A and B are shown apart, each in its own frame.
Chain A
Amino acid sequence: MKMLNTLSGFIKERFPLENMNMKSMLMKKVVPVHKLSWAYYLGGLTLLFFIIQVLTGLFLLFYYQPTVNEAYDSVKFITEKVPGGAVIRNMHTWSSSAMILCAIIHFLTTFAMKAFEKPREITWWSGVVLIFITFTFGFSGYLLPWHQLSVNATKVGLQFIGAVGQYLPGVLSELPNKLIEIIQGGPSIGQETLSRFFAIHIVILPLAILAILGVHLLSVQLHGMSKGVSRNVEKTEPFFPNFLIKDFSLWAIVFLILFILSITIPFESFFPYPLTEPYNPLGSTPDGIKPEWYFFFLYYPMELLPFWVIIVAMGVLVVGLFLVPRIFQGTKRKTLRFLSWLAFAYFVIMTVFGEAIFEMIKGVK
């Protein structure tokens, strides 16, 4: 009973009913103005990219066919034959990368600004779940074009789950492989996998993300922007309309940049063309298979370090992320900023130089 009371008290504090009205959520909300104010725009940008993803995704759905036989050809049909199809598809791919980049920077800046402090724990937790969902979006969507790169990269990604097996005792050691088979729907990647990934990508994840996004945005509006810096902030600007106007102006500019990029540079032109040939289950795998760039920070360490290190690190990271509001309760923002910079530097180094480091250490070229 007492626990129940604490729980209800906890929730009441995070969702104060008296604040749930237009006036306090929209009209009275103010945004602090300081050196880190730019970070307040990142969440909105991520939302913009998500909206673009939903719209362009719906467009693609009119022509895409999720079968092993048709998937590749239908994607090719969209890009080569359907009027405007290439722009829509490129927008979907460019925007997916942009969304993930924005989400990552948003995540790091909120951490640096200590935006997880009481009463914003729920915002933080929902944010962590959102970023996981975003990565799953990327992973599941990557398979759908069914070309060499997409299928083989998915294969590589899934095999990592299987590699956990070697550290499990006895009967359990087969468990990860069974898990892979459940995800794949069979012993190898085939039609069942495509159907599953398709369902996950276009139904399950969007539903999940909408629900959690709702909680995320509600609690952001309820509690307002976090202060972000340690000293007292004297200067603020009203959220409505000043901040919103800037926000939307940024959206317009970013949208135009995205549009120009999509109409001029096909995302796949960055890959050598043999990687975008149709997947051939019986032929040899072409050179240069690697996951999408936003997985490099996980992928190259996995290739270089003993696998158990990765498992332990991942476990600590995931649990740690959820416990952040507790662990860093008393930490100064300066320290948090330093940690964020460290994480960011790691991410950039692994993404940009990961391949070079890998080749240097493994001594191949």
Chain B
Amino acid sequence: MKRFFTFIIVLFLTQAQVFAYPEFYEYSRKVSNRKTNCALCHSHGDGPEGLEPGQIGSLNKDEMEKLMRARSTFNLGSKVESPILNSFGNQIIFTLGKKKFLELKTHPQDLARELGLKSDLDSDGIPDSVEYLDGTLAISPEDGHPWKLFVSNLQKYFKHILLAIVSVSLLLYGFINFLKGLDLAAKVKGDNHETKKH
């Protein structure tokens, strides 16, 4: 009976209620030339439909309620925790509100501007909205435009790099002098041998 009930809910949701918004990742894909997928904002790479973890079919009752609550968040500023969205997806709804987000569907190029440059969920130094345009994950510090990551990490790890440079240089200096000393010591020994032979 319970199964049947779940089945009905799934059916209901998949048939009537599911709205995925592929416009956004498709736009991101177009401008960044990276082969992105729904995981840009969703929990699952294939989007919300389906039975896999992070998709609607796998949700239990609590999560279903959360989803319903998230779906009715039409205005900005209220915290959402939709189980089918990742934190970037939730962040979008939080900063824009569902209503504004739905309006943006026709012109996804404006999403980045609307989001602004403030939020950086993975604190990798690249704002979420820029990562959206780059076609990289806003929630993973390991994923980002290589050059932008380079610049931001260079600043972030400046002390580490400096320490590495100084210590390696010192070690090299020591080692070079060790080799030179060894060489001269060997020469002295060799010379002594030769003088003795004479």
Contact = CB atoms under 8 A, between A and B. Distances in A.
Chain A directly contacts chain B within the complex, with at least one CB pair under 8 Å? yes
Interface of A: 27, 79-80, 86, 240-241, 244-245, 248-249, 252, 255-256, 259-260, 263-266, 268-270, 272-277, 283, 286-288
A2 B3 CA distance: 84
Contacts of A240: 179, 183
A265 B150 contact: yes
A270 B35 CA distance: 12
Given A270-B146, A273-B36, A283-B46, 19 more contacts: A86-B142, A241-B176, A244-B179, A245-B179, A248-B172, A249-B172, A252-B172, A259-B161, A260-B161, A260-B164, A268-B143, A269-B136, A269-B149, A272-B135, A273-B39, A273-B136, A273-B140, A274-B35, A274-B36
B165 interface: yes
B68 interface: no
Contact of A288 (B35, B140, B145): B35
Secondary structure of the B side of the interface?
Answer: helix
B164 A259 contact: yes
A269 B144 contact: yes
A13 B20 CA distance: 74
Nearest to B172: A252
A241 B179 CA distance: 6
B13 interface: no
B176 A269 contact: no
Contacts of B165: 256
B146 A265 contact: yes
Contacts of A273: 36, 39, 136-137, 140, 143
A245 B176 contact: yes
Contact of A277 (B45, B135, B172, B183): B45
A252 B46 CA distance: 46
A263 B45 contact: no
Contacts of B145: 269
Contact of A265 (B149, B161, B186): B149
A268 B171 CA distance: 31
Contacts of B186: 27
Nearest to B37: A274
A275 B142 CA distance: 13
Contact of B153 (A244, A263, A286): A263
B142 A286 contact: no
Secondary structure of the A side of the interface?
Answer: helix
Given A265-B150, A269-B145, A277 B168 contact: no
A86 B149 CA distance: 14
A255 B169 CA distance: 11
A270 B137 CA distance: 12
19 contacts: A241-B176, A241-B180, A245-B179, A245-B180, A248-B172, A252-B168, A256-B164, A256-B165, A256-B168, A264-B149, A265-B146, A266-B149, A268-B142, A269-B142, A269-B146, A273-B137, A273-B140, A283-B46, A286-B45
Contacts, number: 86
B175 interface: yes
B153 A265 contact: yes
A326 B146 CA distance: 46
Contacts of B36: 272-274
A305 B128 CA distance: 44
**A-B pairs with the 8 shortest C-beta distances?**
A264-B153, A241-B179, A272-B34, A287-B35, A252-B172, A266-B142, A272-B35, A241-B183
Interface string B164-198: 11001101100110011011001000000000000
Contacts of B144: 269
Contacts of A252: 168-169, 171-172
B39 A277 contact: yes
B176 A249 contact: yes
Contacts of A248: 172, 175-176, 179
Contacts of B161: 259-260, 263
B144 to A, nearest CB: 6
Contacts of B168: 252, 255-256
Contacts of B149: 264-266, 269
B113 interface: no
Contacts of A288: 35
